[in-house]
Chain A
Amino acid sequence: MAINKKASAGPVKDSASECVAQPASADPSKAVLKTSRRDFLRAGGMLSMSSLMGAGALMAQSDDTKATVEWAEHFQKNYRLMTQKEKNEARLRLEKRYSAEYGKQVSVDTADAQPGVLMGYALNIRKCIGCRRCVHACVEENNQSRGKQRAGEKIEWIQVLRMERGEFSADKMNHGYPDGLGIQVGGNAYTPAGQILEGQYHYEPEAVPEKDATYMPIACMQCEKPPCVKVCPVRTTYREADGPVVIDYNWCIGCRMCMGACPYWARRLNVTNPVLPKEEMNPVTHYLGNRPRMRGVVEKCHWCLQRTRQGRYPACVEVCPVGARKFGNLLDPESEVSLILARKNVFRLKAELNTFPKFFYFYD
């Protein structure tokens, strides 16, 4: 499996072939396990053995290393203010700690934004079938907490809102609003149609798409004027030069102002120590992206920085079975996203709030 191979191969950058490789699958139970086992065997005993031994060695001294590493971590600066040297130190500290903790070679990328890139996202709401594979792929790729015992242990960044297809019916046309005095001033002919901002969105259908529903996936909109960034008292969350709004998990104080300010409910709080089984942990990480988080900090979608800064698509884009999700460079007029903006009818969610999302919805 691409991710495992990459981890043991070392540097992340020079493996262009992996863009074609299978991404984290949407159906974790089957697809992933099969491919990863095959891949594991193919990768050859030598490499795997050596990495296992390395991991073992790391685990043996884990207690001591972990303690000292975490101590230094407590006193590091805000990521954005670190010098390159400090970034490297922080990166090595984290790689050491994560490798020991998860028993495998973990890489923490610190790749910066590339000039001339402004990431953008477009989603075809007509195509979305509500399968929620993007949700699961996102969880796997981005090392979200996935415990099942307590409610707060499960974190999903993408929400697929299920909306009922309403209809108008003739037999209710004469049920007025309000009744009384014999004068009907409004109608009750409708049943809910389109998005009403009420209700529960956790649906588990047997098959999708459902006949009487439409779907609207949402996640962080990576706003150009992000309200969450403005309210952060310690500037731990900010917009990167290439677009995504990121969080330095080590600097976050857990005050949750950003969660209150976000109009899209994109942010989640790690209410407890994240539940991330060793074997499920994705070892290819980015400092501002999917590296494992800690208790008490806020996290959210960052458009898979660990992938997109290396020229790959976000996991949700790769996994979408109907091709509803498009991702690309807004500054490149030939990119898929730019072409969509130029040719399709697009809209942004809650545009009236002037947050200027870089996440667009469109339909053919």
Chain B
Amino acid sequence: MLTSFVSDYMRYVLKGGTKFYAWMGSLAVLIVGMMYVFYLQNTDGLIVTGMTSQIHDGLYFANLVFLVGVAAGAVTIVFPAYVYHHEGMHKVTVLGEMLAIAAVCMVMMFVFAHMGRPDRLWHMLPIIGIFNFPHSMLAWDVLVLNGYLILNFICGFYYLWVKYTGGKINNRFFMPLVYVSIVWALSIHTVTAFLIATMPARPMWFHSMMPIRFIVTAFAAGPALIILAFIVIRKNTKMWVDDSAIDLLATIVTWCLGLAIFLTMSEIVVELYARTEHANGLYYLMFGLHGLTNLVPWFWSSVILMVGSFLLLIFPTIRRNYKLLPILCFTTFAGIWIEKGMGLIVPGFIPSPIGEVSQYYPSFVEVIMTIGIWACGFFILTILLKGAIGILLGDIKYSGAKAVVTK
């Protein structure tokens, strides 16, 4: 039965029109580019990136942090569906879980891109390597991310499996897993925030507001991407996502975005009122330091994108206008990507702990790698969503007589 599930799933996913193949083909080209620069990075070293001993986390780490948020954002579907029994959400929960799986896969790929020695990653495996568990925050992060991946995989595919075989969901097995995955989603982003917020050496990150800021930005960017995906699905497949689901997600995006703006504002006031040396990172981000102003346009464009989107999204009429909503979701997503990616990670290193002010220029290799990993993520997401939709629509169904007999 399992083999027929896999083969039916694969056969359905591989069937598609020109549009589908063009999409997957162009993604594949980008993935090949990524593989090439990965080869470069692991023969010549990270020197082909813009990272230095001063600024040793760049685009990769920024995307990693951001995508953990996107993965956690899936809970904005799961939570209303199972805790508030939201009808529209319940029908599409599994799509959110698929998004989470794709996002965590991207995170893992960014980890590989980030490492100086990806060939030695096995050193982290327990038993054959050393897993510095309670001490190292990175160890915690590895644990929660893998746990989240497994949880979503089990929840998502168990649900699809049951739909496929036409059976009934065993709630005594399924529901506890769903509740665990809800809490777990919060944990992945909290731990990722701890990863950088537990370093007094980097005053820009060293404050306890970090986890909640991570979570609200995640719950704005995540559902924004989900809304975009839903609208694409509605347009391109027979699957219909209820308006009520999209409306609820849009509301979540709006208020989480508002909170994110509030927290950013609070940070700016607290840091710049006293204007100690610990505020240098933020000052560099907002206005530049010693004539170095690389990130200034990024920061202000992020402010414009976030505040502008928020001001428009407040109005329910705009929120429910499905022509405008995708645009606003995109601007929200882009604004948070800048704020939480480059805008948070890079200025943490400027100035360095001994006061050296240097700048970070992402190299061509980094850009290709980043685009390639995103392409790979969308490649995985497309496969997962297509298969899931096929099952939800009943296009993929177990045809053997056994299914009826067993349950």
Binding site for B on A (CB under 8 A): 74, 78, 81, 150-153, 155, 159, 161, 195-201, 218, 227, 230-236, 251-257, 259-265, 267-273, 295-298, 353
Question: How many chain B residues touch the partner (CB < 8 A)?
Answer: 51
List the B residue with the shortest CB-CB distance to A216: B354
Tell me whether A251 and B123 are in contact (CB under 8 A).
yes
In the complex, are the beta carbons of A256 and B57 less than 8 A apart? Answer: yes
Shortest beta-carbon distance from B357 to chain A in Å: 7
Q: A196-B277, A265-B354, A268-B53 are in contact. Are A255 and B115 (CB under 8 A)?
A: yes
Interface string of B333-369 (1 = CB under 8 A from A): 0000000000000001001111111000000000000
Kindly list chain A residues whose C-beta atoms are within 8 Å of the C-beta of B142: 233
Looking at the complex, which one of B47, B117, B353 makes contact with A153 (CB distance below 8 Å)?
B47
Main secondary structure of the interface of B (DSSP, over half): loop
Cβ of B199 within 8 Å of any chain A Cβ, yes or no, is: yes
Cβ of B46 within 8 Å of any chain A Cβ, yes or no, is yes
The answer to the question of B320 belonging to the interface, with a C-beta cut-off of 8 Å to chain A, is no
| Contacting pair A261 B117 (CB below 8 A) | no
Taking the nearest CB of chain A, how far is it from the CB of B1, in angstroms? 40
Complex alpha-carbon distance, A251 and B129, angstroms: 9
Task: Say how far A155's CB is from chain B's closest CB, in angstroms.
Answer: 7
Pairs A–B under 8 Å by Cβ, sample size 26: A78-B123, A150-B47, A152-B52, A196-B277, A197-B351, A197-B355, A199-B357, A201-B356, A227-B199, A233-B132, A234-B131, A236-B123, A253-B115, A253-B118, A253-B124, A256-B56, A256-B116, A259-B56, A260-B199, A261-B199, A263-B200, A263-B353, A269-B51, A270-B116, A271-B49, A271-B52
Residues on the A chain within 8 Å of B124, using CB: 233-234, 253
Set of chain B residues within 8 Å of A236, measured between Cβ atoms: 123
Residues on B with C-beta less than 8 A from A270 are: 45, 116
Q: Mark B259-297 against chain A: 1 for CB-CB distance below 8 A, else 0.
A: 000000000000000000100100000000110000000
Q: Which listed residue, A197, A257, A259, A295, touches B138 by the CB 8 Å rule?
A: A257
Q: Is the CB of A233 within 8 A of B57?
A: no
Asked if B121 lies at the interface with its beta carbon under 8 angstroms from chain A, I say: yes
- A9 CA to B57 CA, complexed, in Å: 44
In the A-B complex, the 9 residue pairs with the closest CB atoms: A254-B116, A296-B116, A197-B355, A272-B45, A263-B201, A272-B47, A233-B138, A271-B47, A295-B45
Q: Is B163 positioned at the interface, with any CB of A under 8 Å from its CB? A: no
Q: Please give me the residue from chain B that is nearest to A231 by CB atom.
A: B136
Residues of A within 8 A of B45 (CB): 152, 270-273, 295-296
Which chain B residue shows the least CB distance to A268?
A: B53
